Structure 1
Amino acid sequence: RNWDYRYCWLRDASLTLQALFDLGYDAEAEAFLSWLLYTTRLTRPELQIMYDVYGETRLHERELPHLAGFAGSRPVRIGNGARSQLQMDVYGEVLDAAYEFIRRGGRLDRSTARMLVDLGDTVCRRWREPDEGIWETRGGRRHHTYSKGMCWVALDRLLRLHDAKHLEAPVERYRREAAAIRADVETKGFNQRLASYVSEFGGDEVDASLLLLARYGYGDPAGPRLRGTYRCIRERLGADGLLYRYPTRTGGDGLPPGEGAFLACSFWLADNYLLQGRKTDARRLFNRLKRYANDVGLYAEEYDPLAKRLLGNFPQAFSHIALINTVLQFMQDDIRKNAKKKPRKKAVSY
């Protein structure tokens, strides 16, 4: 499972932008978003899941058999074959990033507004298709629940921007398609026996991407369906206080079975505890996660609970963005609770 990560993933970029905005780095966030929207024009009205820093889209993958990775792992690859995958969730993440920019006072020019509506039209045209999903599995396309939910997010953000007069969208079409997406997710993406959303329509497995649904406003984080999903994810994917991304024991992802626990997913669980009002559980989990950093406070992509060591790309931006966003969630929770109280001079440490 060696992959070439020298590229910008739209999903990661969206979460990075959220952190930059919340930290007050507005100029940096606006510059990053401008690059992101300019780059995605190269494939308009479709989105590729990743681009290099020059906006290049031809990131052909090949293996280097004469090299080995960490601990002798093979094959080493350059380029990334996932570039050609269909991952419908990225439409929701890009449009959410644009929405956050505008919500905080940013403005769209006419060309960019038209491009965003074009992305919405692509969602309407393609959301019913199966895709490879957020985890870039190589076992074929399926109807992933998270991907469908993020298609709903994409149309929801465009409808909000239309209502606020930032762009002109085909409102009736978007409302109709958004309602159809939600109906499909609620009937096909929810398993009544498990009382949980599931990875794929009609399936009985879960994956940790479902923890992001509440973050993007799909459903009530304290409602029975999402609470049941959190419980199922902890039971099925939890190990030593960490979470795996999805079950890898069968090799159903088209790759050799087995990998470490995915650190970002455990931070997402802490986020969901906060959204539910379970701050004690969130802090207990967060304090545990801090122990998995190395001696200078950095995280890899994964952690092996058995061998007690970091695994995967190091340092991993995805893990650190998850860490930052969780800390920001703690801070926002404190701000909400202290809004009517006299400000304190003592800083809060996380």
Structure 2
Amino acid sequence: MIADHGLIGDLQTAALVSADGAIDWFCCPRFDSPSVFGALLDHEHGGWCVVRPVGEDYRVKQLYLPDTAVLITRFMTRSGTGELVDFMPLAPRTHATDNHRLVRMLRSVRGQIDFEVEVVPRFDYGRQAHKTHLTDDGVVFDSGGMTLTLHAVRESGDTRLAAIRVGDDNAVRGRISLDAGEVRGFVLESAADGPPRAIPPSELEHLFQLTVRFWRSWLARSTYRGRWREMLNRSVLTLKLMTYAPTGAMVAAPTAGLPEQIGGLRNWDYRYTWVRDASFAVYSLLSMGFTEEAADFAGWLADRYQDTTGRLQIMYRVDGTTDLTEQTLDHWAGYRGSWPVRIGNGAAGQLQLDIYGELLDSVYQGHRHGLAVGYRGWEAITGVLDWLGDNWDQPEEGIWETRGGRADFTYGRLMSWVAFDRGIRLSESLRRPGQAGRWRVHRDRIYRQIWERGWHKGRRAFVQRYDSDVLDSSLLRMSQVGFVAARDPKWFSTLTAMEEELVVDSLVYRYNPDAAPDGLRGGEGTFSLCTFAYVNALAKAGYVDKARLVFEKMLTYSTHLGLYAEEIGPTGEQLGNFPQAFTHLSLIDAAITLDDALDNTGPQWI
């Protein structure tokens, strides 16, 4: 199951570890590189790395070491209790590297326990064959273009790893036996400098302590002291794990191809950086006190709009390049038969007008928190706004990246209004030159247009597209961005209409695809981002107790490790790519808004 996984990483790539001890998703050397382990999407052809007790008579518990990204999987057997400790020592922050280490540390904490090990790499999404070389100290898997080296962890003179063997499939299998207090395991290293070597347990313990110290010292910088500290800490750690440190870019998710509906077609690649998500990240991280990370993301965004004459691509690779050609992996079956499995993303070239509002709002919020806007940055911002002035009043694909043709989406117009509004405020605050008069004309035109064409008298609500009666939960942000007063009667009626049609037991759908065909067959689950946006809107509208109940109920849908995918299915299962940055960003925003509302109001009736 998607939910049965934890995330580990080194700030350049990441791996998913199942509750049964399997690494079944790992791309290397970057988030958006081809996979080495991909059993999550095809168990037969994807590749995996499993460590588990011998036999089937055991119980499993999984947790993160508190305040870290170190994952502990506990196995309880009749003869003893063992722990598998998975982590990735940090890669260099300032430059990209092909060298990455996956540490799988095994220890017996009670009694005696036998582990079975199976390492089955499948390079380049299972398309590239490899050779396997076994040595006294480990194994080298060589695909020609990439190597993965297994270093054995053992004391000097220990020969108990000699049972490891190479199979006809060029995989490695073996056993590790541990008595109480013993530590063993192995390290998987890409692009290793030299042959396999025996690593003493003391060296492994040192790597463990360094990794723990990094994560705890980083998290200690958080300024959040609200009611949901544990959940927000886990969310911000997850966001950090999805950050590509050399550029400051954050991927939407570290996975590709996980379905929004089991057996459906909506299986996209999210291992890229969306302008929208990065913009939200700036605000969320600033709100928790992580100004350095916010500045890094803001810098990545600045590079994107400074490299353009006005129009932005909606998403980029983590290094800022634009090649995201979409293709399908025809040889992979997909998660639980959900095919096609797509890599790349054809939506990259879409016109989505909302990204300009999110971009300018993040620049504005960053400015309010002390992030400077330099000369080159301001010149680029004016270029973006001048381009938007010539292009905002046209059909687009919209925030949900529909593939059924362009339309006049209200949310795109709303965020265009935000772009001009924030540009005007920045110009005045910074005392920088710009066509503020022209921007003000555009801002006011959009404002009147939305009220005239985005408001549906019959539905008594703002609607998804002009000349339609379709509701859309993206518009829950209308009050948050300041377009409409949070307690305006028309906003109350909009919330009521959404609650009646898009909310099911507190969970929120994006829209009704039957009422608004989006060019794809099938449906999807409720969208977790939208549920947290609903909490935000309710709190701002004064429905504080109701907002808190929705929020608390949403917390019950998290995984055992506090993680969220993109969507939640009818039976409460996690659906879509996992974990998803947008969901965790919106969780942070909702909690902070709700904290503020609860601190400044008395009890409210639901």
Q: TM-score range by the shorter chain?
A: over 0.9
1:250-302, Cα deviation, whole Å (9 max, x unpaired) = 67100112111111101101001111122101111111101111111111111
1:119 is aligned, of 384, 394, 401, to: 384
In structure 2, the residue matched to 1:195 is 460
Q: Does 1:279 align with 2:544?
A: yes
Letter matched to residue 472 of structure 2: D
In structure 1, the residue matched to 2:485 is 220
Q: How does 1:60-79 map to 2 (within 5 A)?
A: 60-79=325-344
In structure 2, the residue matched to 1:139 is 404
| TM-score, normalisation: structure 1 | 0.93
Shift of 1:131: 0.3
In structure 1, the residue matched to 2:130 is none
Report which of the two has the higher share of helix. 1
Distance 1:184-1:258 versus aligned 2 partners, 3 A rule: same
Letter matched to residue 589 of structure 2: N
Q: Is the CA contact (8 Å cut-off) linking 1:249 and 1:257 kept in structure 2? A: no
Letter matched to residue 328 of structure 1: I
In structure 2, the residue matched to 1:248 is 513
| Runs of 5+ unmatched residues, structure 1 | 339-350
Distance 1:257-1:176 versus aligned 2 partners, 3 A rule: same
Q: Is the CA contact (8 Å cut-off) linking 2:304 and 2:312 kept in structure 1? A: no
1:126-159, Cα deviation, whole Å (9 max, x unpaired) = 0111000000000000000010010000000011
Q: Does 1:331 align with 2:598?
A: no
Distance in 2 of aligned mates of 1:251 and 1:200: 9
In structure 2, the residue matched to 1:107 is 372
Q: How does 1:261-340 map to 2 (within 5 A)?
A: 261-305=526-570, 307-334=571-598
SS of alignment partner, residue 114 of structure 1: helix
In structure 1, the residue matched to 2:439 is 174
| Runs of 5+ unmatched residues, structure 2 | 1-265
In structure 2, the residue matched to 1:29 is 294
Report which of the two has the higher share of strand. 2
SS of alignment partner, residue 423 of structure 2: helix
> Percent of aligned pairs with the same residue?
39
1:137-187, Cα deviation, whole Å (9 max, x unpaired) = 000000000100100000000111112134222122111111111111110
Distance in 1 of aligned mates of 2:334 and 2:309: 36
Distance in 1 of aligned mates of 2:366 and 2:432: 14
Q: Bigger shift: 23-32 or 325-334? A: 325-334
Q: Is the CA contact (8 Å cut-off) linking 2:454 and 2:464 kept in structure 1? A: yes
Distance in 1 of aligned mates of 2:569 and 2:340: 20
Distance in 1 of aligned mates of 2:332 and 2:494: 41
Distance 1:271-1:141 versus aligned 2 partners, 3 A rule: same
| TM-score, normalisation: structure 2 | 0.54
Q: Does 1:233 align with 2:498?
A: yes
Q: Bigger shift: 324-333 or 23-32? A: 324-333
Q: Is the CA contact (8 Å cut-off) linking 1:250 and 1:257 kept in structure 2? A: no
Cα-Cα RMSD: 1.5
1:18-60, Cα deviation, whole Å (9 max, x unpaired) = 1111111112111110111113333331111111111011211
Q: Is the CA contact (8 Å cut-off) linking 2:392 and 2:416 kept in structure 1? A: yes
Distance 1:44-1:103 versus aligned 2 partners, 3 A rule: same
Q: Does 1:92 align with 2:357?
A: yes
Distance in 2 of aligned mates of 1:70 and 1:191: 40
Larger Rg: 2
SS of alignment partner, residue 487 of structure 2: coil
SS of alignment partner, residue 206 of structure 1: coil
Distance in 1 of aligned mates of 2:363 and 2:411: 20
Distance in 1 of aligned mates of 2:506 and 2:333: 31
Distance in 2 of aligned mates of 1:83 and 1:166: 35
SS of alignment partner, residue 154 of structure 1: helix
1:163-214, Cα deviation, whole Å (9 max, x unpaired) = 2134222122111111111111110111011110000001100111000121
SS of alignment partner, residue 43 of structure 1: coil
How many corresponding residue pairs?
A: 337
Q: Is the CA contact (8 Å cut-off) linking 1:273 and 1:279 kept in structure 2? A: yes
Shift of 1:337: 6.1
Distance in 2 of aligned mates of 1:216 and 1:99: 12
Q: Is the CA contact (8 Å cut-off) linking 2:329 and 2:342 kept in structure 1? A: yes
SS of alignment partner, residue 164 of structure 1: helix
Q: Is the CA contact (8 Å cut-off) linking 1:212 and 1:268 kept in structure 2? A: yes
2:283 is aligned, of 18, 22, 26, to: 18
SS of alignment partner, residue 424 of structure 2: helix
Distance in 2 of aligned mates of 1:170 and 1:221: 30
2:303 is aligned, of 23, 33, 38, to: 38
Letter matched to residue 272 of structure 2: Y
Q: Is the CA contact (8 Å cut-off) linking 1:69 and 1:75 kept in structure 2? A: yes
In structure 1, the residue matched to 2:48 is none
SS of alignment partner, residue 430 of structure 2: coil
In structure 1, the residue matched to 2:124 is none
1:260 is aligned, of 512, 525, 540, to: 525
Distance 1:177-1:251 versus aligned 2 partners, 3 A rule: closer
